[in-house]
Amino acid sequence: MSLRSSVTIGPISIFFTNVNTAMGIPGHSHFAEVIVEFQNLGPIGWPSFGSTNALIEIALRSECQKAFRDCTNEDVVMRLWNVVHAIVQNRDDNAILKEWGGAYILRKLELRVRGVPDKIGHDDGFTTYTVERND
């Protein structure tokens, strides 16, 4: 039997605006939640502490400060994946992550977008957009 262990953080609340030109949808804003899963590569995985999780939260919220122009929600989730992936890839350069150690990779990021009935035609509920490693 092959098992995989992981550490999941979130939901992290964010607010973003996107202009979905591919679908002809003008600029509009969403509340969303981000859930991040790290695969453990050793006995200690992602060090889930206030200081380490804050690195992810701050980076995600910072990325959402400007409108995502010419972006579908699928584009937005990929951009958020890239932000978290950069933190993980550069962890040796980050004093907070170096302090706690751990062996992990970014496995999955989910963007749960809250829709509300509006003139655009959004659904009343959450839609989840996911990026996940295949290896």
The Cα 80–Cα 128 span in angstroms is 14
What's the CA dihedral at 91, 97, 99, 101 to 10 degrees? -80
Provide φ and ψ at 49, rounded to 5°: -130, 170
Q: Where are the domains of the chain?
A: 6-113
Measured CA to CA in angstroms, residue 32 lies from 46, 61, 71, 125 at distances of 23, 11, 15, 11
Q: How many CB atoms lie within 10 A of CB 131?
A: 19
Mean pLDDT by groups of 10 residues along the chain of 135 residues: 95 96 90 98 96 98 97 97 97 95 97 88 92 94
Q: Which residues of 58-89 are buried (b: 16+ CB within 10 A; e: fewer)?
A: eebeebbeeebeebbbebbbebbbebbeebbe
Taking each helix axis from N to C end, the angle separating 73-89 and 50-63, rounded to the nearest 10 degrees, works out to: 140
Residue 116's pLDDT is 82
The Cα 129–Cα 109 span in angstroms is 8
Fold observed for domain 6-113: Tetrahydropterin Synthase; Chain A (3.30.479)
Q: Which of 32, 6, 11, 30 is nearest to 20 (CA)?
A: 30
Residue 18's pLDDT is 95
Residue 120's pLDDT is 84
Residue 46's pLDDT is 98
Residue 12's pLDDT is 98
